[in-house]
Amino acid sequence: MATYLESGLRLDLPDGQHFRFADLPAYQALSSYRLKEMDFAWLDGGKLFLLEVRSYAQVTETLTGAHFVPAKGQPAPFRYEALIDKVTDSLLMLLAAWAGSAGGQALREGLPEGAKIRLPLKLVIAVDLPAKLAIHLQGLRDSLNARLRGRMALADVRNVVLIDYARLVADPRFSAFIRLQV
């Protein structure tokens, strides 16, 4: 098992069954071109899960719903745009790896053996928000899915799961290897 501590979570992921784009030499060579990545990826039950974790627990006084959810006629908040970029770029990297493009082949070499073939994808974004902002989770989820719908359709992904930390660590799909950091 490999243990990671990130954004208030402890992840114990099985050796040879997970990866982080950030650790792949091919990604490191591309990241200077503003390519973004989701934090963790692992194989489970014939699927490849990608997880982005974000904790905003330390900035409770300054955040409002407008920092996350776009409002009609207003520029999209940068935190929202960052999530869009991470999902989009992660999908693009996986599709390139599976398609065998030159850049994709370099990425593919760093993937665990089971992830080198095309698999069904599950995209999960876990956020730790102060209680006063939790009411915005549904709006953020709906907005992310609406904005990403066409991109996800190209990768046969139905939707992004947006979940708070409490639900993440309680969900049987994740509770075996993701816990709150103590």
Q: Contact 159/152 with Cβ under 8 angstroms?
A: yes
Report the percent of the chain where pLDDT is more than 90: 75
pLDDT of 61 higher than 70: no
Q: Region 4-21: what's the mean pLDDT? A: 95
pLDDT tens digits along 74-89: 888 888 999 999 999 9
pLDDT tens digits, residue range 16-34?
A: 999 999 999 999 999 899 9
Predicted confidence (pLDDT) at residue 45 exceeds the cutoff of 90: yes
Confidence of residue 136 (pLDDT cuts 50, 70, 90): confident
DSSP the chain: -EEEEETTEEEEE-TTSEE-GGG-HHHHHHGGGT----SEEEEETTEEEEEEEEE-GGGTTT--GGGTS--TTSPPPHHHHHHHHHHHHHHHHHHHHHHT-HHHHHHHHTS-GGGSS---EEEEEEEE--GGGGGGHHHHHHHHHHHHHHHHHHTT---EEEEEHHHHHHSTTTTTTEEE--
Domain that holds residue 156: 2-180
Domain count, the chain: 1
Residue 117 near residue 46, CB atoms below 8 Å? no
Q: What are phi and psi of 103, to 5 degrees?
A: -65, -35
Q: Per residue in 89-113, pLDDT tens?
A: 999 999 999 999 998 999 999 999 9
